[in-house]
Every structure is written in structure tokens, then in C-alpha cells.
Structure 1
């Protein structure tokens, strides 16, 4: 059964070549291995890091060598680094300030959380806020800088996989996208 879950790709964002968000069940707590798919193809999302062959550049360090490397990597792998940075800053500021309403504004629902569970909407998120944004998760968010996020075809990772940001197409041609938090675990 696990093999089936590993091999069945998520087609959520394949039409616009945006990577699918990692599921809470398969999202790694360390940098996931990149798939061997070229950057212009959507990866088979939901694959366990040990279920794929790592690409030659999969061992990217968590800290980039020079300022701007993260933005360049996001632009080449995911597109529009400025949008990712804006969401990162808004989410981090909201979490650090305890502004629950602002936190909700940066989340795409359904939200993937720990153990494969999903949060359907803002009300359910607010009721479970302390359980989802635990002190350890808030600490990882507070400690992260945008210049040191890990980037791969699954999105932008905060901490050791506690939070993932990813984009979604807003139209069929994928000329407009929206970046949001898609996983908190």
C-alpha cells in the first residue's frame, strides 16, 4: 500500500508546471531529494526522498553561498522569487507577532499538517492554532531568514520542513500565480 502512495503522483498543479505541495504524510523533516525531472516539468509530488534518485544538484546547502542565490534558485525552479519573499516575510511577521488573522491570510486551504491530516478552512485552523503552530514550529519560523531557506521543486522550506510555501496557478495559462503556506507540521 505504501508503494502505491509513493508511486501515484499528485496532479494538483501539473497543468501550470508548478510543483505540488508536499503532503504532511510524506513531507520530509530534512531537505528532500530533488527529482530527476527537468525544472520545466512538474515533479511527481508526494514521493519519499528515498524513493527517487537525487539529481546532481540535490545536495544544495541550506545556506546559499552568496546573497541572492535563493532568489535566483526560486526564479529558476518555482518562479517569481519576490512573491515567495513577500509571503515569507508576511507569514513570519504574523506568526512572530501572534496575529492569527494575518497568519490565516498567508495560508492556502486545505492546509497539510502533521501525520497526513488536513485543515479544511480558517475556522478549523483558528480552533487548532496552538496545536498546529507549536512552540517548536514558531521557533523554527522565527529563526529562519529568507536568504537561508531551502528551495526545491516542492517549494520553499522553512526550518527543517516545519513549513512549506508553494505557488498555485490562478488561470489556465498560469500567467497569474499565488504563493501561500501549504504545509505546517
Structure 2
């Protein structure tokens, strides 16, 4: 079956969007043509054109707003009250500390991909000594500058040779 002119035009625009350079060229030509036409209009016709464009824009915005209202995500809750009850349960189970609450909610939102996950990972604080400090301690015990001998203990062992 043959295509209508509207279907052909729709297919042409769809294919035109795939070719970026051709699309930009067509937009440029269209812009030049519209500017020439606007320059040749007298003031009354130009005012009518602007009013018509304003009405078309308003109608488009109103239609988009209506679509957003009508296309709400379908909820599994039958009534507003049951939804409110579920929200109340969740809010009561959150921590009372505001900082903990924010971190929990932030994590949940990231898990549902509502906001992007952070790339920086939390650095764990370890209770171990740093490598430099360990090296200083080993050097301290290795040097012979300070010597302390406990009472009844010897600092060295004498080995007798029975030859």
C-alpha cells in the first residue's frame, strides 16, 4: 500500500536526524528561508505571526503538562491512604539522627538508580601504625646508645669453651 505524504515526510525527517551534517545543513537553510520571509512581512502580519507562534508554544506546553499529569507512574497502591500509610511506616523506621537518615536515604536512592552512584569510595581507617613509625621504633631498639639492664638479668650470655 502506498504511503501518504505525511508518512513520507515523517520517514524523511527520521532519516534526516540520523545524518548529522545533512540535518545541520537543512536547519541552516530553513533558518535563512524563515528570516527572509520575516523581513518581507509588514508590521501587522509580523505581529500576527508572533501571536500565532506564542499561542502554538503555549498550547504545546499545556499539552506536555497534561501528559505529565496523566502519565504518572502507575502505583500498586489502590488508595491515597494506603500509600500514605506505607510512607509513614518507612519514615518511622528511619534513624532519628538526621545525618544517619540522610545517608540511608541517599544510599537507597542510589540503589534505585534515581541519582548516579558516587565513584569515590570510603577510605577505611585502620588502627595500625604507619610504616614510618614502625621503622623509627625498630631503629630505636636496634641502636646501642641506650642500654638498661634489669636487676638479676644479664645483657649478654657468656659461652665457656672447654678446650
TM-score between both structures, scaled by the size of structure 2: 0.20
Larger helix share, 1 or 2? 2
TM-score between both structures, scaled by the size of structure 1: 0.18
Instruction: Return the index of the structure with the highest Cα Rg.
Output: 2
